[in-house]
Structure 1
Amino acid sequence: MRGLFLVLTTMVAGCSVAPATDDGGIEHVTITGLEDVRFSSAHIRQGVWSPGEFEREARGGIFFVDPPVAGRTVVLFIHGINGSPRDFRFLIEHLDRSRFQACVFFYASGSSLAQIGRELAEDIGELHRRHDIESLVLVGHSIGGLIARDLVLHRSSHPDVDIPLLITMSAPWGGVPSAGVGIRFSPVVIDSWRDIASGSGYLSSLFVDADGSTRDLPVSTRHYLLFSYRKSWSSFGLSGDAVTSVASQLFRTAQQQAYRVYGFDVSHSEILRNGGVVNVLDEALRSLSSQNTKAAL
Structure 2
Amino acid sequence: MSRPMNWLAARLLAVVTVLAAVAVLAAPQPLAVAGALLLGFALPGLALTEVLFRRQTMTAVERTVLAPALSLGVLVISGLVGNAAGMPLDRAWWAVSAAAVTLAALIVWTAVVRPVRLRRRPAAGTAEAETVQIPVVREAPSPQEAQRRADQQAELARRRLAEKQLALAQQRVRQAQAREQRRRVVREFLPLLLVLAVLGGAGWVSLRSAHESYHVTVTTLSAAPPGAPNGDGNRTLRLTADGLLAADGPYTLVVTGADGARVDRRTVPAGDGSWTGSLVVPADQRLTVTLYRSGDTTAYRTLFVAAS
The structure, 1 or 2, with the larger RCO (C-alpha pairs under 8 Å, 6+ apart) is 1
| Greater helix fraction, Structure 1 or Structure 2 | 2
Q: With the length of structure 1 as denominator, give the TM-score of the two structures.
A: 0.24
**Pair member with larger Rg:** 2
